[in-house]
Structure 1
Amino acid sequence: MPATYIGFDLSSSGLKCLAVTADLKPVHEEAILFDKDTPHYGVHGGVHKNEVDHEVYAPVAMWIEALDILLTQMKASGFDFSSVKGISGAGQQHGSVYWSEKAEEILASLDPKASLVDQLKDGAFTHPWSPNWQDHSTQKECEQFEEATGGGEALARITGSKAHHRFTGPQIKKFHRQNPEVYEKTARISLVSSFLCSLFLGRIAPLDISDVCGMNLWDIQGDCWDKKLLALTAEDSKSGVAGLSAKLGNVAHNMGSILGGISKWFVERFGFSSDCAILPFTGDNPSTILALPLRPLDAIVSLGTSTTLLMSTPTYYPSTEYHLFNHPTTKGLYMFMLCYCNGALAREGVRDEINKSKGVTDKSWAEFGKAVDSTQVAGRSTSSDPAKIGVYFPLPENIPSANKGTWRYNYSATDGTIKETQEGWNLPHDDVRAIIESQALSMRMRSEALLSPDAHNGHKAQPRRLYFVGGGSRNAAIMSITAEVLGGFEGAYKLDIGSNACALGASYYAAWALERKGSEAFEDYVDRYWEEETHAVRIGDAYKEGVWEEYGSVMKGFRIVEEEIMKTNSHA
């Protein structure tokens, strides 16, 4: 078997892995679903929930047992572990794992005849649980984080994000508040990514330079821990800032560097080569952008349950409404992430209304598509008509922070005024184009500052390429309008990289780290083997001269509409 490179993905619901060759050809996939394959932990969706206190958490032992089961299944299927030259991985972002003083001693002396979970679960951790990204129990701590730095905007300037319930800094502060004695006994704190890496490394792995940005503790531009935020997190603890710094440990700055060889437990139990290298593991979102040669200013638009925009950008322009992380492989680049609660649910609600009006009882999108085809930009019949702008939140939204509701406005570009009304609206027909436009206009408005024309040789403030994924990418009407709003001077593409994007990105990372030529950039390495005709289908030009500019005019009205809605409907 040729040399292989494995990428792991430890998500909320399961553990996946994918092996590729040096030329990035997939050769093996394996998956464990926690609910199905480890039922004795009693989880649902991979987690436990304490609804009263808004806590969501997972048993760390379950993750360890899943790794043993997954590798055992791979071995039984005949996978040759001796072919594995390097391992990287991805972990659900923001979760934290609390190691004991004995952890590294236990990791270094594992018995290959005994399971991993039996040797680690009782002595390696001070706390058996890891908070999940769905956790909402840290409101008090989030308020303290923003107050300490002068507000959400100030915190975002430092850490790339405002305070979020799931972020690790507020979670650690809450952990200390509730469990002060356990906190003091904790020797090291890992993120989920570095925890999984530690198992393979046989010692506590450093935090990853990209994943560390999901903690509300890392000064991204200063490239160091923020002392004020460390002091706040460690407030009233016996060990103070020095203790917290020691618990967090180092951050792996050298992207693609070898952290060490694989633990002998894996060599002796599964037949890995002792020369197998362990590379940094990053967060699931950063790992997703590694699943293709995403160039600076390329964007991935995920039209799934939520609507998400991921982009690689050289511009550091933080905001409370999105996240900026260090890029996982390229110094000087940042990963931009914009994630909305309302995505498919809002679009499907409009689809159901147009179907109902036409007497259609199924969930087909045919009438939806016809409505799109029969309307012009912003629902105008002529250029002098007011633009129709709709905002549709079947769920409370976090971008902007607003209560659920539906709002319809007419916008006059001539005098810059808006009017909340259904006058001139043909309902539900006009809602179809309006729902797609409003979601895309919101993305364009918030990403505009990161798309400096100077950054790509005089092009307008548009992405370079648009890659569409998710359920909505199966709908040509949704994709085409979204592409026209956002632009994309090298076109729009429907992307298919399978269901294991995080594991795929991690496997690519491992291959690049060990097989690159000199200082070859990650994107250049992947591009050498990237089979675009297999993974990406060009759906057309995203930038249409005149149309993109017209949407720029409508966006001015959309900005005013959002401000008006926020006056009375904000839940911030």
Structure 2
Amino acid sequence: MLFAGLDVSTQSCKLIVIDTQSNKVVFITQVNYDAELPEYNTLNGVIKNTEEGVSESNPLMWIEAIEKVFVRLVTSNIPQDKIKCISVSGQQHGLVSLQKNGELSHPVSKLWNDFSTQKECDYLTQAIGGKENMIKEIGNTQRTGYTASKILHLKNNYPQHYENTTTFLLVHNYINFYLTGGVATMEPGDVSGMALSHPEKNTWSEKIIQAIDPELKSKLPPIQASDKSIGFISKHLVQKYNFDPQCKIDAGCGDNMYGAIGTGNLEEGVITMSLGTSGTVYTFMDQPYVDKTGEISLFCNSLGSFMPLLCVSNLANGYNQFLEQENLTHDAFNQLVYKTKAGNNGKIIIPWFEGERTPDVPLATPTYFGFKLHEFNKIHLSRAIIEGAVLNLYQGFKRMPIKAKEIRLTGGLSKSPVWRQIIADIFNLDVLPVEGEGAALGAAIHAAWVWNKEKGKTTGIIETASPFIQLNEDERAKPIPENVLIYKHQKKLFNALSENLRKADNGDIFKIRGELL
């Protein structure tokens, strides 16, 4: 009883196989794009040397990575012909454009962290009658991270490529297209992040489609339920990698939706926080929550319910750059942080290193507050970097209408005791790291759940997931009362700085900086 999950993320492709009889993960492998596919010229999975704000990848790189993990599966002791169902987790919002023959009509995919479509976002918002009308129409604002503006950008800047496109897909849909040998479909979870439909309705917005192109609707595939399979694995992959011809491909979903499953975030009150290139905070909700500012995204999950989500685009990027710049290991960074006290004596970095998604300031740059000249050193900068990242997350999180019980932490930085403790202190919640592979594990669990449903079995998603969720109680971080008090004041300071930067009386300071450059 084997089930597989593929996670096609920004920086890597991961394959995990679970056995639902022994309740064990039996196979894991990963391909890092930069290291193992250097011919695609990427840094952190993104094509190098592009203009500021542009973040793109070649979708063929993802296919080649999948073929590499399949080769490793074949050479393992795992009987791949016993895999019953495969589910795909994909980085959200990325746009893939296909011709009639299934080949790419545009050679790259704009990714979730691409900030180059602000002009298109502004146009669509104006066409709908402003921000409030946009939120009424789709439950969200138009943001550069979402997909609608990427489609309009393609139409405006590569009209021939747009005309040649017969099908637009998201990242995980494109992988499904490859796995099935040509099935083009979408599902509500990932679609809810396109800014082309309202998550409660699961129908395309006629107003936004008309604003982009009346013919766009013919280029969008049908939307089917998230809890069903879309077909079987292709004959080509059966022959090449010895899969069972009856191996199903389920509808798949976005990485955040599957990250929720992989961390056991399946009931209200549990919060998942993912610390990667970006930082996300999300939870399970039976009823939709529409944020009147649009800063909290309204998404569907992969189970038929809803998932309010906060995403900041700056999280590990500043941290990783600091480690590289100062030639530091993770442990050495932790030791530097321990040399300072909570609150850093009022020194703060607003960590908008490469624009920011939440708050929505795509042209933003980092701001350093409270530093004297001699304090621009490794010790004070290390704490300011980590506190700034967590404070930026908290500023968005406080808008969520939830009574949080605890934070389930996933991603590479969840292994750091310093990150865990500072998150616990700033959020004033217990922080519990989750062992395992996050979105890839969630995908495999979802595959098992869908396969059981289609076999007439009544196993629920919580029952299916529970044996695989490993909570690391030994590394639980609890808030330290004196730090909580300090951070209460620091949160006020961070909030005031953030608002002042965005509401400067003399105009958009980040736009003025751009004009200077």
| TM-score, normalising length: structure 2 | 0.81
Q: 2:237 aligns with which of 266, 270, 282?
A: 266
Distance in 2 (alpha carbons) for counterparts of 1:71 and 1:367: 42
Does 1:395 find its partner at 2:350?
no
Once the two structures are superposed, the pairs formed by residues 436-451 of structure 1 within 5 Å of their partners are 439-451=389-401
Give the aligned residue type for 2:401.
L
Residue in 2 aligned with 1:371? 340
Distance in 1 (alpha carbons) for counterparts of 2:90 and 2:394: 29
Residue in 2 aligned with 1:502? 439
Number of corresponding residues? 494
Q: 1:337 aligns with which of 310, 315, 324?
A: 310
Structure 1 residues 393 and 438: alpha-carbon distance in aligned structure 2, compared to 1, 3 A threshold:
closer
Residue in 2 aligned with 1:113? none
Does 1:8 find its partner at 2:9?
no
Residue in 1 aligned with 2:425? 484
Larger of the two Rg values belongs to structure: 1
Distance in 2 (alpha carbons) for counterparts of 1:484 and 1:211: 32
Distance in 1 (alpha carbons) for counterparts of 2:7 and 2:295: 27
Structure 1 residues 302 and 281: alpha-carbon distance in aligned structure 2, compared to 1, 3 A threshold:
closer
Does 1:247 find its partner at 2:222?
no
Structure 1 residues 94 and 430: alpha-carbon distance in aligned structure 2, compared to 1, 3 A threshold:
closer
Give the aligned residue type for 1:164.
R
Residue in 2 aligned with 1:174? 153
Does 1:286 find its partner at 2:221?
no
Distance in 2 (alpha carbons) for counterparts of 1:479 and 1:486: 11
Q: SS state of the match for residue 68, structure 1?
A: helix
Distance in 2 (alpha carbons) for counterparts of 1:72 and 1:349: 36
Residue in 2 aligned with 1:110? none
Distance in 2 (alpha carbons) for counterparts of 1:347 and 1:199: 33
Q: SS state of the match for residue 264, structure 2?
A: coil
Structure 1 residues 494 and 233: alpha-carbon distance in aligned structure 2, compared to 1, 3 A threshold:
same
Q: Is the 8 A contact 1:98 1:186 kept in 2?
A: yes
Residue in 2 aligned with 1:212? 191
Structure 1 residues 204 and 176: alpha-carbon distance in aligned structure 2, compared to 1, 3 A threshold:
farther
Give the aligned residue type for 1:292.
T
| Greater displacement, 151-160 / 428-437 | 428-437
Q: Is the 8 A contact 1:293 1:522 kept in 2?
A: no
Q: Deviations over 1:150-191 (max 9, x none)?
A: 444543554454333343211111222234344334322111
Gaps of 5+ in 2: 512-517
Q: Deviations over 1:450-491 (max 9, x none)?
A: 2345xxxxxxxxx21112345554443443242133233xx3
Once the two structures are superposed, the pairs formed by residues 28-67 of structure 1 within 5 Å of their partners are 28-43=27-42, 45-49=44-48, 51-52=50-51, 55-67=54-66
Give the percent of matched residue pairs that are identical in Structure 1 and Structure 2.
Answer: 23
| Greater displacement, 547-556 / 10-19 | 547-556
Query: How far does residue 371 in structure 1 lie from its aligned partner after superposition?
Result: 3.0
Q: 2:210 aligns with which of 219, 231, 241?
A: 231
Q: SS state of the match for residue 229, structure 2?
A: coil
Residue in 2 aligned with 1:467? 408
Residue in 2 aligned with 1:383? none
Query: How far does residue 439 in structure 1 lie from its aligned partner after superposition?
Result: 4.7
Q: SS state of the match for residue 224, structure 1?
A: coil
Distance in 1 (alpha carbons) for counterparts of 2:76 and 2:378: 54
Q: Deviations over 1:183-204 (max 9, x none)?
A: 3343221111111112222332
Distance in 2 (alpha carbons) for counterparts of 1:126 and 1:405: 40
Distance in 2 (alpha carbons) for counterparts of 1:367 and 1:95: 37
Q: Deviations over 1:326-360 (max 9, x none)?
A: 1122x23214122142557369979x99xxxxxxx
Structure 1 residues 226 and 473: alpha-carbon distance in aligned structure 2, compared to 1, 3 A threshold:
same
Query: How far does residue 259 in structure 1 lie from its aligned partner after superposition?
Result: 1.6
Does 1:316 find its partner at 2:253?
no
Distance in 2 (alpha carbons) for counterparts of 1:70 and 1:365: 34
Structure 1 residues 540 and 61: alpha-carbon distance in aligned structure 2, compared to 1, 3 A threshold:
closer
Query: How far does residue 231 in structure 1 lie from its aligned partner after superposition?
Result: 0.9
Distance in 2 (alpha carbons) for counterparts of 1:157 and 1:532: 39
Structure 1 residues 520 and 45: alpha-carbon distance in aligned structure 2, compared to 1, 3 A threshold:
same
Distance in 2 (alpha carbons) for counterparts of 1:559 and 1:336: 20
Residue in 2 aligned with 1:299? 271
Residue in 1 aligned with 2:19? 21
Q: Deviations over 1:375-423 (max 9, x none)?
A: 6x896xxxxxxxx584443725524434322224xxxxxxxxxxxx98x
Structure 1 residues 439 and 283: alpha-carbon distance in aligned structure 2, compared to 1, 3 A threshold:
same
Query: How far does residue 434 in structure 1 lie from its aligned partner after superposition?
Result: 7.1
Distance in 2 (alpha carbons) for counterparts of 1:340 and 1:58: 17
Q: Is the 8 A contact 1:15 1:66 kept in 2?
A: yes
Q: SS state of the match for residue 493, structure 1?
A: strand
Distance in 1 (alpha carbons) for counterparts of 2:151 and 2:182: 22
Does 1:515 find its partner at 2:452?
yes
Gaps of 5+ in 1: 104-123, 235-239, 354-361, 380-387, 409-420, 454-462
Q: Is the 8 A contact 2:310 2:396 kept in 1?
A: no
Distance in 1 (alpha carbons) for counterparts of 2:383 and 2:29: 41
Distance in 1 (alpha carbons) for counterparts of 2:314 and 2:98: 34
Structure 1 residues 188 and 435: alpha-carbon distance in aligned structure 2, compared to 1, 3 A threshold:
closer
Distance in 2 (alpha carbons) for counterparts of 1:134 and 1:50: 15
Q: SS state of the match for residue 256, structure 1?
A: coil
Distance in 1 (alpha carbons) for counterparts of 2:384 and 2:180: 51
